[in-house]
Amino acid sequence: MAQTVSILLNSTDTERLKQIVADRNRAFKHVQRAKIVLFSGERFPVLEVARRAGVSRPAVWRWQKRFAEVGVACFTTRPANPARRPSLRPSLRGLF
């Protein structure tokens, strides 16, 4: 299931990722994801990236792909989940 995503980082992305890693108030998962992309940008093999970041190989492939599609914003934003919006949930009042 190996994926072939090549991460090319420009200086702006590299700096933003390093800021995420250095921020002690940042969520651990964001730091871990930023490390995955930074190590990938340094051309380490997937197994080495996974070992250094402390994640599995599928996690490395997942975040390489997401970074390639979205960029740095993929670490801090989530797409809206319509199932969690209260206005879209059916009301259970009156059913019981």
Measured CA to CA, the distance from residue 34 to residue 19 in angstroms comes to: 9
Percent of residues, the chain, with pLDDT higher than 70: 74
pLDDT band at 63 (very low <50, low <70, confident <90, very high): very high
Measured CA to CA, the distance from residue 23 to residue 28 in angstroms comes to: 10
Give this prediction's pTM.
0.74
Average the pLDDT over 68-81 and give the result: 73
pLDDT score of 70: 87
Any idea what DSSP says for residue 90? P
Amino acid identity of 43? R
